[in-house]
Amino acid sequence: MPRFSPVQLRSRFAWSGGKHPRFVNPCRLLSSARQGAVNLMKLAHINLVARDADKLAAFYVNVFKCESLGEPWRLSGERVSRGNGLPNSDIYSIWLKLPGCDIPFLEIHEHKVTHDIKPPRVNEPGFGHLCFQMDDLDAVLSAVIDAGGARVGEVTNFGSAEKPFLIIYARDPEGNILELEQPCNEPD
């Protein structure tokens, strides 16, 4: 039988009137929030809208070692349009597992109809950036550039000389902002 830490137990079980813990489906808790139940939430996915979803997905797989969560699929029809508010929605969707975690995952959409915008600047309101940590910032930055991305800033040490914490901002091939971090890998 698997062992769980107290934190894992609290997230997997809910106490019922001081009696034995019982498994609670988080979806039931969310749906019953109006009745005063605990409202559990978690970030489920991060969505990027792409001009070329296959190309952008390949970038994240090759550079950041994301993994496919299955075959790409198409979202369309009245239910999709009703949900997202866009008439005649037709979306090609790719899901990628981010390195080091199962949830949230990266969802890349390519809509049949898109509107071009200028690439966002680092200080614009709204979605800011995706941040990835790595052991070799220079190698990953080179891979970003070689794969069609671009450097935005300069490598900067946010740590100290003894314990460097390097960061730099970059862009993926579609202009989305990325932050690359290389924390000190030395033991304390």
Query: In terms of Cα–Cα distance, which of 134, 135, 186, 133 is closest to 163?
Result: 186
Residue 168 domain flag: yes
Query: In terms of Cα–Cα distance, which of 154, 49, 168, 43 is closest to 98?
Result: 43
Are 110 and 46 members of one domain?
Answer: yes
What span, in angstroms and rounded, lies between the C-alpha atoms of 92 and 115? 16
Q: Which residues of the chain have pLDDT under 50?
A: 1-34, 188
What integer pLDDT is reported at residue 128 of this predicted model?
85
What integer pLDDT is reported at residue 186 of this predicted model?
61
- Tell me the residue range of the domain where 149 lies: 128-188
What integer pLDDT is reported at residue 14 of this predicted model?
32
CATH number reported for the structural domain that contains residue 178 in this entry: 3.10.180.10
What integer pLDDT is reported at residue 15 of this predicted model?
28
Residue 1 domain flag: no
Q: What is the DSSP string of 52-117?
A: SHHHHHHHHHHHH--EE-S--EEEESHHHHHHHS-TT-EEEEEEEEPTT-SSSEEEEEEESS----
Are 108 and 132 members of one domain?
Answer: no
Q: Which of 52, 85, 114 is the last residue of a domain?
A: 114
Residue 25 domain flag: no
What integer pLDDT is reported at residue 9 of this predicted model?
30
Residue 120 domain flag: no
Which residues pair with residue 169 across a beta bridge? 179
